[in-house]
Structure 1
Amino acid sequence: MIIVLKPEATEADAKAILEQIESVKLKPLYMPGTERIVLGALGDERILNNLNIAANPMVENVKPILSTYKQVSREMQSHDTQVKFGDVTIGGGSFAVIAGPCAIENRDQIFKSAEIVKKHGAVGLRGGAFKPRTSPYSFQGLEEEGLKLMQEASKEYGLPCVTEIVDPAHVELLEKYVDAFQVGARNMQNFKLLKAVGQSQTPTLLKRGMSATIEELLLAAEYIYNEGNHNVVICERGIRTFERATRNTLDLNAVAYIKTKSHLPVIVDPSHGTGIRELVAPMAKAAVACGADGVIVEAHYDPQVALSDGAQSLDEASFAKMMRELTPFVQAAGKVLA
């Protein structure tokens, strides 16, 4: 429920209503605006109706939040959220490119890859230290040693870094090394993990599950937001369909749809969305056109020797070409490269 107070309502009036909401064990929200105060109340609407808040003389109007995802919806907040990722802002008219290898393999590899993506305009560094893989025999990552290497490269090249978190127990460990968490597709509905990152203030990149609906994705974001972490970025990374020509089907419908329904920033992963190096740049340009706030792509100094996802990773020449070609699309969309 959204409660809009009258222009003359004071902070004390708002506090009294918030205490009334809290007294029946519902979650109160305080959202002061430039012109008036807006309050929120989350919980069983039958209990809310019994409070008869609409009769309060300081209340202008009360309306229900119809979407199942409450706090991340545009019903709750009409303006776009901007998320700080290091010194980079995701959302708010900029287009951010985050790039780096799928997995951190060794010091030489992460440093060379970071140097390449920084040189050609990326504003963030990605790389996996803990790698959940389909096969137990695949490379699983360097774990904490990988985090240390990522942090070194991040500082050396001035790129804030993001890595995947796979275990709620890893929150404190990762907070020491990285600027943002990534919740991967396989963990999108790992609710203990969502709550754990929600209790941190570390920016979190939430990837869509390969079989998840848009509503399920936004409800996963709601889990993080509801725990107090409002630094959430949605990532469309493709869904599993009957089509076998590409690794996944990159659902760019979802980007445009989410932008109408949620205030959270949305980025696109064309590397996992296609699984084919030659398709990454075209889909990155399409991501700009449909309203995305950025892309996260896999780039490796030598994809032929990559231990993970070499076939979809960009080498220096293809990454540089993608960045050159993105510029006019970003400008046409009325945005600027972050």
Structure 2
Amino acid sequence: MIISMSPGATAEDIASVVDTVTARGCEAYVSQGVSRTIIALSGAVEQIGSLDLRGVAEVRRVSAPYKLVSREGHAERSTVWVGPVPIGPGTVTLIAGPCAVESPQQTLEAAQMARAAGAVLLRGGAFKPRTSPYAFQGLGEAGLKILAEVGAETGMPVVTEVVDARDVDLVASYADMLQVGARNTQNFTLLRAVGRSGRPVLLKRGMSGTIEDWLLSAEYIAQQGNLRVVLCERGIRTFETATRNTLDISAVPVAQRLSHLPVLVDPSHSGGHRDLVLPLSRAAIAVGADGIIVDVHPRPSQALCDGAQALVHDDLRELAETVTAFAPLVNRIPAISPLTLTGHAARVPVGA
């Protein structure tokens, strides 16, 4: 069962509802979005009839196992804001940057290339979960500092991955959005920790996960009070070897039908080859994705991680043209950020 609070509901109104349903034998999970609070109930929900309490807009039964992120309880699709940047219906948001932070110069060059192509969020990995224990694992906190400095210089809020629940507070002190990667989609301790962080979360789909698995992972985050979750389809593991992963393009409209959360596509990690990124980006926008996230590197042949899929200057010019041309065809506009006009990114306090 879901209780939707009215946009003007106060903290006292929410507390009154929680006290009432708890007294009737239910557990209440309060999750806050930009303009509305949703309360999910479990337990003796049959004891909850109509709630004639101040601030309650609607009480609805939800059949989906993911209560808070389901469209059954939140019919309108959500927009998640990362600082001044929107991700959601009506826009196509471009996120770009190096797969891994290697040095201040490499990160700055990649960020400048990304910004010139119309990117409004800077991605980059300071902690890198790798299949091989001998592969480059990232620079850690030193990489976070580089990302924060480059983000401030270029005017782009930072998106970066956190791989360990113990590092959530550290990463959140530098980043504007936390990413949970495919290998950690069902790391439930980590999901709860990022849910409590106060930061928006970019949740990638597990490489062997169903769409329901993916949405239930998002529910773990939402249950901690954080509805600012963005889903990212990054390809799934199949028998095909011609691509790094198989991009499940149908997952975009399916996830949007089932959940109110925004859905991005990662054409870099799905295709795994530079020449596939642009065609897959076109497909993503055409099918209705709320944005794309791509790898950029000034010298891909020297990259310490995933150089084969990183875009360079000519690719980025074509990507910019693609976003500009395709977005209006699906009744959207490219997302913009006022920060990129000034080149100064203001840090967003945790919990904002």
Determine which structure has more spread, i.e. the larger CA radius of gyration: 1
Of 145, 154, 158, the match for 1:148: 145
For 1:303, give the aligned amino acid. Answer: P
Aligned amino acid, residue 161 of structure 2: E
Shift of 1:13: 9.4
| Alignment equivalent of 1:259, drawn from 249, 256, 278 | 256
Structure 1: give runs of 5+ residues left out of the alignment. 6-10
CA distance in structure 1 between the partners assigned to 2:48 and 2:251 by the alignment: 38
Decide which of 28, 53, 61 is 2:49's aligned counterpart. Answer: 53
2:213 counterpart letter in structure 1: E
Q: CA deviation at 1:2?
A: 3.9
Show the counterpart of 1:308.
305
Q: Which residue of 1 aligns with 2:218?
A: 221
Q: SS in structure 2 opposite 1:131?
A: coil
1:100 and 1:297 in contact (8 A); partners too: yes
Residue correspondence of structure 1 range 120-269 to structure 2 within 5 A: 120-269=117-266
Letter in 2 for 1:27: A
Q: So what's the TM-score if we normalise by structure 2?
A: 0.87
Q: Deviations over 1:143-193 (max 9, x none)?
A: 111111111110111011111100111111112211111100000000000
Question: 2:347: which partner in 1?
Answer: none
Q: C-alpha displacement at 1:18, in angstroms?
A: 4.4
Q: Report the 3-state secondary structure (helix = DSSP H, G, I; strand = E; otherwise coil) of the residue aligned with 1:69.
A: coil
Could you tell me how far apart the structure 1 residues matched to 2:236 and 2:18 are? 41
Matching of residue 21 in structure 1 with residue 37 in structure 2: no
- Maintained 8 Å contact 2:99/2:306: yes
Check whether the contact 1:259–1:291 (CA below 8 A) recurs between aligned residues.
no
How far is the alpha carbon of 1:83 from its aligned partner?
1.0
| TM-score, length basis structure 1 | 0.90
**Aligned equivalents of 1:201 and 1:31: distance in 2?**
10
**Alpha-carbon displacement from aligned partner over 1:198-237 (angstroms, at most 9, x marks no partner):** 1111111000000000000000000000001111100000
Give SS of 1:43's match: strand
CA contact (8 A) 2:92 2:323 kept: no
CA drift of 1:321 comes to: 1.1
Q: Are 1:118 and 2:111 an aligned pair? A: no
Residues 31 and 225 of structure 2 are in contact (CA less than 8 Å); yes or no, is this contact kept in structure 1?
no
Please state whether the residue corresponding to 1:252 is helix, strand or coil.
coil
Tell me the amino acid that sits aligned with residue 111 of structure 2: A
Name the residue aligned to 1:8. none
Question: Aligned residues: percent identity?
Answer: 48
Structure 2: runs of 5 or more not aligned = 6-10, 336-352
Contact 1:2 1:38 in 2 (8 A): no
Q: Find the partner of 2:88 among 63, 87, 91.
A: 91
What is the alpha-carbon distance in structure 1 between the residues aligned to residue 269 and residue 305 of structure 2?
12
The structure whose RCO (Cα within 8 Å, separation 6+) is larger is 2
> Alpha-carbon deviation of 1:14?
8.4
Flag the 1:68–1:120 CA change in 2: closer, same or farther, 3 A: same
Displacement after TM superposition at 1:276 (Å): 1.0
CA contact (8 A) 2:120 2:156 kept: yes
Aligned residues: 330
Deviation at 1:249, TM superposition (A): 0.4
What is the match of residue 43 of structure 1? 42
Q: CA offsets per residue over residues 81-111 of structure 1, 9 Å max, x none?
A: 1111122111131110000111000111001
CA distance in 2, matches of 1:283, 1:66: 34
- Cα distance in 2 for partners of 1:307, 1:61 equals 52
Distance 1:30 1:184, change over 3 A: closer
> How far, CA to CA, are the matches of 2:126 and 2:81 in structure 1?
22
Give, in whole Å, the separation in 1 of the partners of 2:224 and 2:173: 21
